[in-house]
Amino acid sequence: MITYYIAPSDYIFNVSVSTTTYESKEVFVDEAKILRYNKQSVYIDTMCRLIKEGHSFCHCYDDNDEPFTNTTKTQANFRYTSYIAYDIDDNALPMEKYLTTLTYQPTISYTTMNDGIKGNRYRLVYCFDNKIIGTEQYMQLYDVMQVECGIGKLQDNCTRSPAQPILGNSLPTCRMTCTYYVYSIPSEACTTMEKMGKVSKQTINKKERSDIVCNDTFMKDFKGLPLWKFVSTYSGVYIPVTESKLAYRNGYALIDENYLCLYRRWDASTRKIHIWQDGEGRRKKLATAAFIIRKIKPDITAEHLIYCLANEVVHYYDNSDGALNQSFILRAAKTALEKPLDEITIKGQDKRKFKVDVEYWGKIGVSPRAAVAKARGIWNDERISRLYDPELTDEKNIKMMARNGIKISSSTLKRWRKQHGITKYRSRT
């Protein structure tokens, strides 16, 4: 029985990666004798990036903790792997249509450098949650998956040998699909197993390909496109939810205790919004963002929330290590949507008393910094106007306003009176 699930955020696997990249298969073949590999621990997103950079990949062999060459990469030296690849050559169907014929989708599929030159050519990569140990188990699993997935007879079975490398595709014409599916080794090929790291098994039905119910086309794009392209594709459909709605008037809006917004940190050195880095609690911040967005917009749909989180990752997080992948975003969205709204407690993160409408001020040629000063002046003027009692002395007005949360000096009040034509207070009769 074939079982699979969406890779959790901490899913990683070891793979040997070439130290150089290649722009053609011919150059790769010519340099085979000097080719060197390094074993690396990678996320699925990392593997996708390395493929598109044009690296070559192979499995893990004896004594390859150090850089190694093709002399080490032999079937006799093969130790283990966590993926199996199939080369599809000269198929009548382009990759995207061919994938719809498969019973089980690959983790990663991409067109090779000769696609379109020598017919339709692409590569299917299936990742597993256990190490495939030894040549015998590798070949058994290769044969089982080939039958069960509906791959059928291949023109070239070269990747049935664990010594065979696979080449990425650095060409701009490369097309790639990533499902993030991770497979469990079926019992037919399960002669020996060594469990990989931390993987929380969650076997799912083939028809239930996601924990969260979404539009099929939307989910296909979300899983299949790079996050930046997904966000760009749906930017005309969804608007990012980043803060509570504010009532702007005279170029500013008051901020009360119910106001919520996604936290941004201003980087004074770069004069830009800070990009959250590894070690700064990225996962926790993004998971919290999901709750804040849900609290701001209680009726938000699953698709809209997923888009908002993807937009956050693309614009405000360093995700070069792939830690904030599609799987993590789905889990964060699912958790936020399932939690009862009255159980989501978020403290207001914005300590400002008001917020300026930058667009409003920009239309009249006022810079953002100057706009803050002008808006503060208008805000103070309105607050003083609302509380000022012409029958009290300046001193008593200042004390009365302080009791109502407005701290002003005597000179400020005098200046305000002068601006409003109030030269002196009226005595009580």
Distances (CA, A) of 49 to 16, 138, 170, 183, 427: 14, 25, 10, 21, 78
The answer on 367 and 302 residing in a single domain is no
The answer on 118 and 101 residing in a single domain is yes
The answer on 167 and 31 residing in a single domain is yes
| pLDDT tens-place string over residues 177-192 | 998 999 988 765 554 3
The answer on 390 and 267 residing in a single domain is no
Residue 426 lies in a domain: no
What is the structure's pLDDT at 201?
37
Residue where a domain terminates, one of 356, 391, 410: 356
| pLDDT tens-place string over residues 31-57 | 877 888 999 999 999 999 999 999 999
pTM score: 0.48
Of 35 and 86, which is predicted with more confidence? 86
The answer on 240 and 110 residing in a single domain is no
The answer on 248 and 301 residing in a single domain is yes
pLDDT band at 89 (very low <50, low <70, confident <90, very high): very high
The answer on 233 and 215 residing in a single domain is yes
- State how many domains the chain has: 3
The answer on 40 and 62 residing in a single domain is yes
The answer on 246 and 345 residing in a single domain is yes
Angle between helices 282-296 and 326-338 (to 10 degrees): 40
Q: How is the chain split among helix, strand and coil, in percent rounded to 5?
A: 35, 20, 45
Residue 8 lies in a domain: yes
pLDDT at 267 over 70: yes
SS3 379: helix
The answer on 203 and 106 residing in a single domain is yes
Contacts of residue 202, defined as CB under 8 A and 6 or more positions apart, other chains included, come to 5, 6
Question: Dihedrals φ, ψ of 320, to 5°?
Answer: -65, -25
The answer on 377 and 301 residing in a single domain is no
Residue where a domain terminates, one of 209, 241, 257: 209
Range of the domain at 202: 4-209
Of 301 and 255, which is predicted with more confidence? 301
**Which residues in 196-311 belong to E strands, given as ranges?**
252-254, 266-267, 272-273
Tokens linked to 324: 């904030």
Residue 371 lies in a domain: yes
| pLDDT tens-place string over residues 321-378 | 888 888 889 989 998 998 888 888 876 555 667 677 777 888 888 787 787 777 777 7
Tokens linked to 317: 């997080």
Residue with tokens 């059928």: 152
Residue 398 lies in a domain: yes
The residue among 103, 96, 306 whose CA lies nearest residue 218 is: 306
Residue 429 lies in a domain: no
**Range from 8-22, 61-75, 95-109 carrying the lowest mean pLDDT:** 61-75
Residue where a domain terminates, one of 317, 333, 356: 356
Residue 28 lies in a domain: yes
The answer on 224 and 186 residing in a single domain is no
pLDDT band at 206 (very low <50, low <70, confident <90, very high): very low
Residue 428 lies in a domain: no
What is the structure's pLDDT at 193?
40
Residue 344 lies in a domain: yes
